[in-house]
Amino acid sequence: MTSAAESEILTRVGPGTPLGTMMREYWIPALMSSELGADAPPTRLMLLGEKLIAFRDSRGRVGILDHRCPHRCVSLFFGRNEEAGLRCTYHGWKFDVDGNCLDQPNVPAHQAFPDKVKVKSYPVVERHGLIWTYMGARAEPPPLPCFESVMLADPAERNLFCVMRECNWLQALEGDIDTSHFSFLHMGGVGADEVEAENPGRYALIYPAPEYHVADTDWGTMYAAHRPADTGNTYWRFAHFMFPFWTIPPDGNFADHVIARAWVPMDDTHTMFIHCSWKKNAPGLRKRRDGSPIPGATVGNTYLPNTTDWFGRWRLAANVENDYLIDRDAQRSGSNYSGITGIHLQDQALTESMGGIVDHTYEHLAVSDLMINRTRRRILQAARAAAEGVTPPGVDRPETFQGARGGDFVSSSSIGWLQAYGDEMRVSKNPAGVLKVAAE
């Protein structure tokens, strides 16, 4: 069981908290590049409990600043984005993307002090369709992460989207490292005899209660859920947690499943889910044997229009206010096990139903939660070590994360789980050209 004290560490991400301090040592994906236009109005941005403003200046440079003007603390959200800077509309003070004061037009020139005024700003790097920021204490930020899917520089090759989830980052992330719910929440309305015979995912329907191997890794944690397959073979589903808030889920053919998903804490009770994958990924279990779609097992999202408030970006049209458009008739008939349509939406409905922050002391974890328990322990250890000055995992060695890939496959039951993983890594497709074989 996770204690109340441990839960407090695992779920609180604001300035000065153990986990928030550790997360700030990593580069954080803050927005998609498409969200900011040159000289367009600034965007409210909530990250790790901090109210920030993001804008792109006339030269295309991106700034991420504290939202308060250092003059009288009004919000720079109301500022004018013009001529390579953001001008506060209260008294006209102007700031560049690095937070430097460029102009104090309401102060006589001989009494102005722009060189002594600065808005708190964070370093920004824009790569591969994402805007990254570093919020940590280092004068020189660490290297950028180099996850395989994030390295896909060609937009035509990359599937990138965001969804806001109204719950704590950890309970949102844990859906990606909880493999047994796949056979129920997502696939409970279809029998193994109904799905494509060549798709190994059918073994998850035949054997809904897998057994597990879990391990700590240099990048975080990993699991191998295993079930019997045909004679002499084992069906594997591998997935990873990667520091500080990334996952590689198992839903797809391991050989070409190039994906990483970030669960970026906006604050303690709101999370921005960022999905980045190769468009040529082989899909997971989605179709019946006759080629028809499995009810409810769709992908894609329908969004509400974005608003300008702190939590107004990338909200789904199906949400808590309309019970996620649950179809009780479909649920009752068994055609859609949950009655909710959409793989992501099914996860969102249930993780948000736990509340803004789940009460971990109320849980009764089982053997099926080995990966969740192992990951919580790993995060706690890293956060406590970081508080003692130990560099968090992978911060200075971004290549560490290149040893991780998730997905499913069938292999001989005569080999161990780490050998099965290593063998599959060696024959996997690598469109980004950066993946290295994981050490066994």
Q: Judge if 59 and 121 occupy the same domain.
A: yes
How far apart (Å, rounded) are the C-alpha atoms in residues 406 and 124?
29
In CATH, what number is assigned to the domain containing residue 122?
Answer: 2.102.10.10
Domain count, the chain: 2
Phi/psi at 357 (5° precision)? -135, 120
Q: pTM of the prediction?
A: 0.95
Q: Token pair for residue 414?
A: 């005569």
- The burial class, CB within 10 Å (0-12 / 13-18 / 19+), for 101 is buried
Residue 225 domain flag: yes
Maximum Cα–Cα distance across the chain = 86
Given pLDDT bands bounded at 50, 70 and 90, which one contains residue 440? Answer: very low
Given pLDDT bands bounded at 50, 70 and 90, which one contains residue 436? Answer: very low
Given pLDDT bands bounded at 50, 70 and 90, which one contains residue 437? Answer: very low
Q: Judge if 269 and 403 occupy the same domain.
A: yes
410-430 tens-digit pLDDT: 999 999 999 999 999 888 877
**In the chain, what percentage of residues exceed pLDDT 70?**
98
Q: Judge if 76 and 44 occupy the same domain.
A: yes
Higher pLDDT, 85 or 430: 85
In CATH, what number is assigned to the domain containing residue 179?
Answer: 3.90.380
Q: Judge if 381 and 237 occupy the same domain.
A: yes
Q: Judge if 346 and 289 occupy the same domain.
A: yes
Q: Judge if 167 and 112 occupy the same domain.
A: no
185-204 tens-digit pLDDT: 999 989 999 988 888 999 99
Higher pLDDT, 429 or 99: 99
Name which of 118, 116, 147, 113 is nearest 130 in CA terms.
Answer: 147
Q: Judge if 252 and 309 occupy the same domain.
A: yes
Q: Judge if 191 and 318 occupy the same domain.
A: yes
Q: Judge if 94 and 183 occupy the same domain.
A: no
Residue 235 domain flag: yes
Q: Judge if 103 and 234 occupy the same domain.
A: no
Q: Output the average pLDDT for the chain.
A: 93
What pLDDT is recorded for position 433? 56
Residue 21 domain flag: no
Residue 433 domain flag: no
Q: Judge if 209 and 336 occupy the same domain.
A: yes
Q: Which of 134, 165, 187 is the last residue of a domain?
A: 134
Q: What DSSP string describes 375-422?
A: HHHHHHHHHHHHHTTPPPTTSS-GGGGGG---EEEEEETTS-HHHHHH
Highest mean pLDDT pick, 141-145, 278-282, 347-351: 347-351
What pLDDT is recorded for position 432? 59
What pLDDT is recorded for position 431? 67
Residue 317 domain flag: yes
Q: Is the pLDDT of residue 94 over 50?
A: yes
Q: Judge if 247 and 303 occupy the same domain.
A: yes
**In the chain, what percentage of residues exceed pLDDT 90?**
82
What pLDDT is recorded for position 27? 97
Can you give the residue range of the structural domain that contains 67? 27-134
Q: Which of 134, 169, 196 is the last residue of a domain?
A: 134
Q: What are the CA-CA distances from residue 246 to residues 243, 249, 413 (Å)? A: 6, 10, 30
332-371 tens-digit pLDDT: 998 899 999 999 999 999 999 999 999 999 999 999 999 9
